[in-house]
Copies of this chain bind each other. A is one copy, B any other.
């Protein structure tokens, strides 16, 4: 395994993230056209050391605070929504044993991450109940197919959800991507987020050891153990904001560099163009403050670990829900309306400026926005909120 032997000082991680963002931006349009696996960029991430930021100090990791980590995800999204997605979801899977597993499992997978620089991915879509985990000897057999497995291609470790036939409940296991019987299909073809490799993973009678199942305390068992969903939503919120910021920055550059006169007015002085820029940037600022605030709350609830109460969990989940739904609405507007400030020539196919809308539109459909807003309203009015669901 090859990686940056000396990790940068903590304050430099953000700079490192931005450096990668600058690199990835250069090829983002081209890679959007190609789709498929961003192998070179994934390897660049591997070498950068960014995969390890969340490994705790007690296991030898840098334990970078969540706000920085999430900001790195967002800055990557400014350049490339897909790579931000695979990195963000890597963190989500990497800490999954921390939520659901024993102390031993937590240690095992954090240390393994550090030693092998694993790129984590998931095969967890809870709406797809086709994967079954049946006991066999001291372990299990995993069989079936799972869709929407973000980051699976070129991954090292998979977090998998499966139905246990006896209980008809989901269980979560960690399975190396290279294990015999695991087939990761290259079948992801979507209008946006085209390099997230969110395709199908097949499990052909895959052997799973007992200690690979995260059943103690298990999903949803404690307030802390239900936080995984909140983190998933927060990562999405950050990426949505990042994509919108990328769109707005690109449109600024376009207008800066392409003088255009209409009705005798230069585009850089056009009151309607300035107004639209002002409005879009204003809404972007609002979204940034919402996700920043949610990240800070997230750091707090994370630090409470098993002391976390259900009420605190809900307070954080609400902030995340607010940030995500606002970011989605804002982003749909911004990514669609940048064209009004750029004008007709910005629809040139080679520029691929539509990718911002396609990326944001795709990601924003992860779970229904309207349901989330209604749940926020239910909490505001009735102080009711789902204790724990896969999407709240």
Near B by CB (< 8 A), chain A positions 267-297 give: 268, 271-279, 281-283, 285-287, 289-290, 293
Q: A274 to chain B: which residues have CB within 8 Å?
A: 374-375, 377-378, 381
Q: How far is the CB of A30 from chain B (nearest CB, A)?
A: 14
| Stretch in contact with the other chain, from A20-28, A69-77, A168-176, A187-195 | A187-195
Q: How many copies does the complex hold?
A: 4
Stretch at the interface among A4-12, A137-145, A352-360: A352-360
Q: Once bound together, how far apart are the Cα atoms of A347 and B198, in whole Å?
A: 12
The reply to whether B336 and A357 contact each other, CB–CB distance below 8 Å, is yes
Q: Say whether, besides A340-B365, A340-B369, A374 and B289 are in contact (CB < 8 Å).
A: no
Q: Which residue from B255, B343, B374 sits with its C-beta under 8 Å from A272?
A: B374
Cβ A380 vs Cβ B191 within 8 A: no
Decide yes or no whether A370 CB sits under 8 A from chain B: yes
Distance in Å: Cβ of A28 to nearest Cβ of chain B? 15
The docked-state distance in angstroms from the alpha carbon of A277 to that of B318 is 13
Q: In the complex, are the beta carbons of A368 and B350 less than 8 A apart?
A: no
Partner of A281, one of B277, B278, B358, B376: B376
Q: Is A204 an interface residue (CB 8 A)?
A: no
Given contacts A347-B190, A368-B340, contact A286 B275 (CB under 8 A): no
Closest to A353 in B: B191
A302 contacts B by Cβ under 8 Å = no
- Residue in contact with A374 in the complex, picked from B271, B348, B369, B376, CB distance below 8 Å: B271
* B381 near A282: Cβ-Cβ < 8 Å: no
Question: Residue A381 contacts which of B255, B293, B350, B376 (CB distance < 8 angstroms)?
Answer: B255
Name the distance in Å between A127's Cβ and chain B's nearest Cβ: 9
Kindly supply a per-residue 1/0 record for chain A positions 322-337, scoring 1 wherever the CB is within 8 Å of any chain B CB and 0 otherwise: 1001100000100011
A304 at the interface (CB under 8 A from B): no
Chain B CB within 8 A of A256 CB: yes
Known: A272-B275, A374-B271, A381-B255. A190 touches B340 (CB 8 A): no
A354: B residues at CB distance < 8 A: 191-192, 354, 358, 361
Cβ of A366 < 8 Å from any Cβ of B? yes
Q: Complex: how many Å from CA A190 to CA B276?
A: 23
Set of chain B residues within 8 Å of A332, measured between Cβ atoms: 336-337
- Determine if A380 and B289 form an interchain contact, defined as CB atoms under 8 angstroms apart: no
A371-390: CB near B (< 8 Å → 1, else 0) gives: 11111111011100000000
From residue 229 to 271 of chain A, which have CB atoms closer than 8 A to chain B?
252, 255-256, 262-263, 268, 271
Inter-chain CA distance A252–B148, complex, in Å, is 24
| In the assembled complex, A344 has its CB within 8 A of some CB on chain B | yes
Q: Taking the nearest CB of chain B, how far is it from the CB of A332, in angstroms? A: 6
CA separation between A156 and B337, bound complex, in Å? 36
What is the distance, in angstroms, from A147's C-beta to the closest C-beta of chain B? 9
Closest approach, in angstroms, between the C-beta of A197 and any C-beta of chain B?
14
Closest to A252 in B: B381
**Top 10 A-B pairs ranked by shortest CB distance?**
A278-B377, A277-B377, A272-B370, A274-B377, A189-B349, A278-B376, A289-B289, A278-B373, A286-B286, A344-B365
Name A's B-contacting residues (CB within 8 A): 35, 148, 189-192, 194, 252, 255-256, 262-263, 268, 271-279, 281-283, 285-287, 289-290, 293, 319, 322, 325-326, 332, 336-337, 339-340, 343-344, 346-350, 352-354, 357-358, 361-362, 365-378, 380-382
Q: List 7 A-B contacts (CB under 8 A).
A: A262-B367, A271-B374, A277-B381, A279-B373, A336-B357, A354-B361, A357-B357
Q: A271-B374, A282-B325 are in contact. List 13 more A-B contacts (CB 8 A).
A: A189-B350, A191-B349, A263-B371, A272-B371, A273-B370, A278-B372, A278-B373, A278-B375, A286-B287, A286-B290, A336-B357, A340-B365, A343-B365
